[in-house]
Homo-oligomer: A and B are copies of this chain.
Amino acid sequence: MSQLPRIVILGGGFAGLNVAKRLDKSRYEVHLVDRNNYHSFPPLFYQVASAGLDPTGISFPLRREMRKLRPRNIRFHLGEVKEVDAVARTVTTSYETLAYDYLIIALGTTNNFFSNPGLINDVFTLKSVDEAIRLRNEILYRCEKAAITTDEAERKRLLSFVVIGGGPAGVEIAGALGELKRYILCRDYPSIPPDDMSIDLLEGSDRLLRTMSEKASRTALKDLTNLMVNVRLGHVMTAYEGDRLTLDDGTELNAGMAIWTAGVTAVPFGVKGVDEKSFRGPGGRIITDDACRVIGHPEIMAIGDIGYFQSEKYPRGLPQLAQVAIQEGRYVADGLNGGGVFRLPFTYRDRGSMATIGRNRAVADIGKWHLNGFVAWVAWMFIHLISLLGMRSKLNVLLNWVWAYFTHNTALRLLFQGSPYPRRGRMHDKGDV
């Protein structure tokens, strides 16, 4: 490629992709690294998990996005980031080492199990398309097993779901499970009494959707209760043994399947040549100055969920939202296109936040406005639809939604069981991501 300054972008999410698109490719040689060959759309992961949407509807090949950019001075690299060397100015992935002049870290976050990392072996999670597919398969599999068994206790065990965490992801997946119980079981699985399915939602604080308005919290609680979800506020789990989950007050719940949405932490990677104390903030997030630059390393920027950008208005860092990632991405690209002259400081324009609890049920805070019910639900669908990349995906998702709305039904309850990989296959390939 060219002899231009080299920008390496780590992560093809909202933040990284927006930098890549907006950077002036006649001025920089750009390299984008991601562990997947696609950009995905986290707000809709829960719909993949609940078989409402198809993984391909919310995943977009990064190479196809690259191909549209002119001049085409940009390259995609598949790989998991292992180490950044801030002195040698190199990044090492699972496959190769890349040199950089500017580095943009936009790796996002992954699940945080806090004091019990062992939970990763016990709970299901929802932080990637792969995790969502796994969730979908497990839920479908449990329904099939429950339809076969004649043992009521066994059936109740199979269909006991506990969602841990009352943020948007937890509320949305719990709502989707509530709709499964209320609308789908009786029609698709006539041999299962719907009451044999139980859904509990645990939230440590005193309200759901803590980052949203009180009104949104109340509405979400009401809607989930209507969907037969047992919401337990002010409780945390203390143990998960066998199929029993214990709460801090000693209550024991059936939990054949536990879904963890209770915390995130920065995607981990090694780093050399930085002062850890001034580099890592709360939750492993990377501390930046008011232009998203790493302290002491103006050639390294951290944006999106992994960046820790403090301001008077946001003393605990900017919220970890798509809008922040998108705006930071564009801001950083503009600064670099301007030869590193940044319009200081970066300021986040709050576009509001929303969550959906199910058919005709959603909540939205937009400035001083609080929407709920059908209006919020339509707004939610519209905003997510226009945010999807590519017309094909928009049509695909719209088709599925319209279909599901009028038929109260989805054609996507498909249990793909996978098949073992040949010796020679990817899964056994050394250096695999």
Min distance, Cβ A255 to any Cβ of chain B, angstroms:
9
Chain B residues with CB under 8 Å of A392's CB are 399-400, 403, 411
Q: Which of B60, B63, B79, B415 contacts A189 (CB 8 A)?
A: B63
Chain B residues with CB under 8 Å of A59's CB are 414, 416
Cα separation A429 to B138 with both chains bound (whole Å): 11
Q: Which of B133, B148, B417 contacts A77 (CB 8 A)?
A: B148
Is A137's beta carbon under 8 Å from chain B? yes
Is A120's beta carbon under 8 Å from chain B? yes
Chain B residues with CB under 8 Å of A187's CB are 67
Which of the 9-residue segments A16-24, A175-183, A357-365, A420-428 touches chain B?
A: A420-428
Cα separation A78 to B145 with both chains bound (whole Å): 8
Q: Report yes or no: A422 in contact with B120, Cβ–Cβ below 8 A.
A: yes
Min distance, Cβ A319 to any Cβ of chain B, angstroms:
26
Min distance, Cβ A129 to any Cβ of chain B, angstroms:
7
Is A38's beta carbon under 8 Å from chain B? yes
Is A248's beta carbon under 8 Å from chain B? no
Is A141's beta carbon under 8 Å from chain B? yes
Min distance, Cβ A175 to any Cβ of chain B, angstroms:
22
Cα separation A421 to B95 with both chains bound (whole Å): 24
Q: Which of B56, B130, B147, B433 contacts A54 (CB 8 A)?
A: B56
Work out how many copies of this chain go into the complex: 2
| Number of chain A interface residues as a range | 35 or more
Q: A78-B144, A392-B399, A399-B395 are in contact. Are A415 and B36 (CB under 8 A)?
A: yes
Cα separation A421 to B130 with both chains bound (whole Å): 11
Chain B residues with CB under 8 Å of A55's CB are 414, 416
What residue in chain B is nearest A428 (Cβ atoms)? Answer: B121
Cα separation A422 to B190 with both chains bound (whole Å): 29
Q: Report yes or no: A422 in contact with B38, Cβ–Cβ below 8 A.
A: no
Contact with B along A116-148 (1 / 0, CB 8 A): 000011111000111101100110110011011
Cα separation A422 to B187 with both chains bound (whole Å): 29
Chain B residues with CB under 8 Å of A413's CB are 37, 61, 63-64
What residue in chain B is nearest A93 (Cβ atoms)? Answer: B148
Apart from A95-B145, A134-B418, A392-B403, what 12 extra A-B contacts exist at CB < 8 Å? Answer: A36-B417, A37-B414, A55-B416, A61-B412, A123-B422, A130-B417, A131-B419, A134-B421, A138-B426, A145-B429, A392-B399, A392-B400
The 9 closest A-B pairs by CB, nearest first: A78-B144, A130-B419, A63-B188, A141-B426, A121-B423, A37-B415, A61-B413, A54-B56, A38-B414
